[in-house]
Amino acid sequence: MRLWQNPASPFARKVRIVFRESGLLPRTEEINVAVSPVSPNADLARHNPLVKIPALQTDDGTVLYDSSVICEYLDSLNPGAHMLPAGAARWDALRLQSLCDGILDAAVLCRYELAVRPEPYRWNDWVQGQFTKIRSGLDALATEVPSWGSSFGIGQIGAACVLGYLDFRFGDEKWRERAALATWYDSVRQRASVVATTPA
Ligand code: BEZ
């Protein structure tokens, strides 16, 4: 398999953590690509018309995107413990993944707005609107984190990517004021899969 990714992308990180947690890492090659909405990568464009990462080419040549589809595919290959449970618990795991993806969507949009858009064109009210989504999403995570126990499925992987991305790109955001979330993150950030994929 081939995974197009970028070490800074929290969505690619989700997939990279699933590769490591499920023991599938030896079966893939990670290809680093620089991505920007204003200078698309030509190689990636041949495989994903949206020119977005992560994208995964499977062993039969099929290219899968986005991160949630890739994670589901990897989970289907994994003979061991599943990141996505079966039965009723599956819907809760998928909902939690969507909550985390939504927080990440808002955070990545803010990153592009603040780092890529020329300063005269920036729209502060829009950025604040995205931060309102990020903070209400974090409040929701803080409410449910006590129910997670030691689970580390797709929802918790998403949450680790959210908190890691905020530390990486928005170090001033005081998300650790949600103490239960901070305590949880301090334990999962020690996992080998999380350490190996920490953005630098
Ligand atoms: C970033 O540099 O923050 C970033 C890179 C790729 C995708 C998303 C975010």
Is 101 in the same domain as 186? yes
* Last residue within a domain, chosen from 26, 46, 77: 77
Predicted pLDDT of residue 94: 98
Predicted pLDDT of residue 75: 96
Predicted pLDDT of residue 34: 92
Is 120 in the same domain as 61? no
Number of domains the chain is built from: 2
Q: At what angle do helices 10-21 and 154-169 cross, to 10 degrees?
A: 140
DSSP per-residue letters across 7-76 = TT-HHHHHHHHHHHHTT-GGG-EEEE----TTS--HHHHHH-TT--S-EEE-TTS-EE-SHHHHHHHHHH
Contact 103, 131 (CB under 8 A): no
Of 5, 11, 6, 14, the C-alpha closest to 156 is: 14
Q: Is 169 in the pocket of ligand 1 (CB under 6 A)?
A: yes
Residue 83 domain flag = no
pLDDT tens, 70-84? 999 999 998 888 999
CATH code for position 105: 1.20.1050.10
DSSP 173: -
Residue 142 domain flag = yes
Distance between CA atoms of residues 161 and 78, nearest Å: 21
Centre of ligand 1 to C-alpha 40, Å, is 13
Q: Which of 3, 5, 9 to mutate to test the pocket of ligand 1 (most atoms within 8 A of CB)?
A: 9
Supply the range of the domain harboring residue 97.
88-192
Is 109 in the same domain as 180? yes
DSSP 183: H
Predicted pLDDT of residue 96: 98
Q: Is 94 in the pocket of ligand 1 (CB under 6 A)?
A: no
CATH code for position 13: 3.40.30.10
One pLDDT digit (tens) per residue for the chain, 200 residues: 999 999 999 999 999 999 999 999 999 999 999 988 788 899 999 999 999 999 999 999 999 999 999 999 999 998 888 999 999 999 999 999 999 999 999 999 999 999 999 999 999 999 999 999 999 999 999 999 999 999 999 999 999 999 999 999 999 999 999 999 999 999 999 999 999 999 98
Contact 107, 169 (CB under 8 A): yes
Pairing of strands 29-32, 2-5: parallel
Is 149 in the same domain as 57? no
pLDDT tens, 24-46? 999 999 999 998 878 889 999 99
Centre of ligand 1 to C-alpha 32, Å, is 12
